[in-house]
Amino acid sequence: MLRVASGLFVLLVALGAPAQKIVPPEPELSFYTVSPGFEYHHHYDSISVVDFRNQELNIFDAKGKVRVRAKLKDGIYESGGMPRDWVAVNNISYFDFQAGRPRYALVSFLWTATGADASSYGGVQLFTIQNGWLAVVQQIFFTARHAGAGAVFDSATGILFVSSSHYLQVDAHCCPSRQDVIRYAWSGHDFRQVAMKTFPVAAPPSLRIQKPAQEH
C-alpha cells in the first residue's frame, strides 16, 4: 500500500508541476569556420620542419573546443572501441613564402566517426609559428558525405574552394541531395569567405546490366 501511495504522490506532483519546454536539438551545420587560438607545446624554427603526419591533430567544434585528439602515425589515426574515430591527413600545402621560407601551412584532413551510423567530415587547418610555437590559426570544417566533397587550395592565387554536403529535411542520412560550394580568399593572415552557392548533388550514373546473349 505504501508503494502505491508513494507512486501516486509522485504522479500528482509531476502533473501539477509546470511543463518543461522541450528544446529541439540544433541542426548540424553543413560547414563552419573557427579560430581556436590553439598552440601545441612544440617549438619549431620553421613551419616547413613540422612533421604533420606524425603528431597530434586536434579537431575543433564550432566554439573552438577540441572534439577529437588524433595522434597521427604516418598520417593516420584510429581509436579503439566503439564509437570509433578514424582520421587521415590528405594534403599539406606550404605558402606565403618570405626569404624562401613558408610562413603558413594548410593541412586538409578527413574524419570518419562510426557508431550507430557512420558520419564523414572533412576540414582544413591553417598553421603558423607564433613565438616559436606551432599554432592553429583557423579551421574550416565541412560535411563530407557525397562524392566530390572536399577542399581544393590554389597557393598561387590564395583561393580555397570547399564542397560540403547539405541535407534537406527529406534526405536520408546516407544521401544528401545538395552541396554547398564555398569560396574563400586569403587575406594575408586567414581565409575569408567571399561566396557560397548551393547546388544539387550529381546523381550517380545508372548502371546497365547487360543480359547474356541467348544461344540458339
How would DSSP label each residue in 144-197?
A: --STT-EEEEETTTTEEEEEEEE--TT--TT---EEEEEEEEE-SSSEEEEEEE
Domain count of the fold of the chain: 1
The domain containing residue 133 runs over which residues?
A: 27-200
Residue at 70 is within a domain: yes
pLDDT digits (tens, 9 = 90+) for 61-75: 999 999 999 999 999
Residue at 108 is within a domain: yes
Share of the chain above pLDDT 90, in %: 66
CA distance 94 to 138: 15
Residue at 186 is within a domain: yes
In this prediction, residue 204 has a pLDDT band, given cuts at 50, 70 and 90, of low
CA distance 153 to 161: 6
CA distance 7 to 197: 57
Lowest mean pLDDT among 28-32, 47-51, 74-78, 176-180: 28-32
Residue at 173 is within a domain: yes
CA distance 136 to 11: 53
CA distance 104 to 88: 20
Q: What is the pTM of this model?
A: 0.80
Residue at 182 is within a domain: yes
**What is the rounded average pLDDT for all residues in the chain?**
84
3-class secondary-structure state, position 7: helix
In this prediction, residue 83 has a pLDDT band, given cuts at 50, 70 and 90, of confident
CA distance 103 to 98: 7
CA atoms within 13 A on the CB side of 126: 25
Residue 162 has pLDDT above 50, yes or no: yes
Residue at 170 is within a domain: yes
DSSP 43: E
Question: What is the mean pLDDT of the segment spanning 189-214?
Answer: 74
Residue at 65 is within a domain: yes
**Residue 6: predicted pLDDT:** 39
In this prediction, residue 171 has a pLDDT band, given cuts at 50, 70 and 90, of confident
Residue at 191 is within a domain: yes
Q: What are phi and psi of 201, to 5 degrees?
A: -75, 135
Residue 26 has pLDDT above 70, yes or no: no
